[in-house]
Structures are given as structure tokens and as C-alpha cells.
Amino acid sequence: MARLARQEVRELDRLAIEEYGVAGVVLMENAGANAARLLEAHGISGTVVIACGRGNNGGDGFVIARHLDAAGYEVRMLLAARVESHAGDAAINLRIAERSGVPIVCLADAEEAEWRRGVAGAAWIVDALLGTGAAGPPRGAIATAIGAINSVRAALSETTTRVLAVDLPSGLDADTGETPGECVRADLTATFVAEKAGFANPAAAAFTGSVHVLGIGAPGSLLRRFGVSP
């Protein structure tokens, strides 16, 4: 099984964009759409709350929100960063979600109790806070959000609230599988292109839950250069 390190993930994305001409926003669209379909396949019986960070992982979350909203599910997004702080492809997809009327609540400066209220009662909590580029312990609003997600999940049975991590659980190091600080405990991880190197760490399974590898539309010849089967 191919597993990619943090730098390999960055390089694959760079080559897809610069060498093959696949726009980054297209890669993000494919990632989010496939994650939304995975969530639907596992059954959605109530509200989906999507916790989004400032980077591309948050952008994936915005795409997921739009697709689920379009499919008729009740969705709301909780932002761990102010709207104006988003940039690039993530900002594009945030604007689309805003114009689509998806409910958005900014909790960038909120206490953990407010985050807990935000995710309480959800059928699914989607962790789109941190991606593979994150290193070191989560800080600020991200750490607060992670604490709230884990608190709500622990207080309820798994049949009541489940957690989907986007690409990897926020707080898990993509290369080592270690957790230097707060880390989301997911029931399901939708990881893109290939499993991350850190997933080989036996301790990582307690945070990833069941791992599903999803495509993002990267060309097959590029995937094979990284040892990934299309």
C-alpha cells in the first residue's frame, strides 16, 4: 500500500497544478465532492456540522457543505478563522457556500463551551480544521474546536454523533502519526490520493477510525510517479 509523506503530498499537488494544468480549485472540488459522497454512503440521519479551518482543508469542508446542502441535507459550517482571513481556493469555495445560503457561524474567538453548543446534536461532525501541512500542537481556535468535538463525541453514543476527518484527523502528524497536542478522534477518515505516512503508526488508528482513500482527479501518470495505483 502506498503511503505519502507530507512533502510528497505537497509535491503531487504542485505537479498536478503546474505540470498537468489541473487547477487547484478543481482538485479541491473533487476532494470535497468525493468526501460528501462517502458521508452519504455511511448514512446521514440528521444535521451535519462542518468545522472549518483557514487553509485548504477548510476549503474541502466548504465544498462538502455545498454538496450536502444541494442534496437536501441540513448543514451548518463553524469557522475557526474569520471570513476575511481565507484566501485562494478556500476563499473561492467559502464565497460560493455563502451565496448558496449555507448557514455559517464564525467561532474564531469563541470559548470551548460555545463550540460544544455549535456541534451538539449533530448526526455527523466533519473535521476540516487542519490538513497534512500542519505540524506541532494545534493552537488557538483550532485547539478549542478539537476539544469541543472530542468532548461532544465522548458524551454521546457513536450511533448519535459520528465524526468524519477530512484527509487526516486534525492534530495528527501526517509523517509520524504522533499527536503532540489535542487531536480529533474520528470514526471515519476520508484521506485523499493515498494514506498518509503517519497512518502506519499503530497508535494513529485510535484517531483515524476507518480510513477510506478518495481521489481528487490527479492524472494517472502522475499518481504512478508516486507509486499510487490510479
pLDDT per residue over 60-112, tens digit each?
A: 999 999 999 999 999 999 999 999 999 999 999 999 999 999 999 999 999 99
Please report whether residue 94 resides in a domain: yes
Q: CA torsion angle for 106, 151, 164, 3 (degrees, to 10)?
A: 110
Quick: pLDDT tens for 105-160: 999 999 999 999 999 999 999 999 999 999 999 999 999 999 999 999 888 655 58
Residue 21: which pLDDT band, with cuts at 50, 70 and 90? Answer: very high
What integer best gives the mean pLDDT of the chain? 96
Tally the domains of the chain: 1
Please report whether residue 12 resides in a domain: yes
* pLDDT value at residue 157: 55
What's this model's pTM, rounded to 2 decimal places? 0.96
Please report whether residue 65 resides in a domain: yes
Strand ranges inside 34-168, DSSP E: 48-52, 75-79, 104-106, 124-128, 162-166
pLDDT at 230 exceeding the cut of 80: no
Please report whether residue 230 resides in a domain: no
What the block records as the C-alpha cell of 82 is 474569520
Q: Which residue has the cell 454512503?
A: 41
Q: Can you give the residue range of the structural domain that contains 161?
A: 3-225
CATH for 91: 3.40.50.10260
CA 14 to chain centre: 19
* pLDDT value at residue 215: 97
CB 229 within 8 A of CB 223: yes
* pLDDT value at residue 22: 98
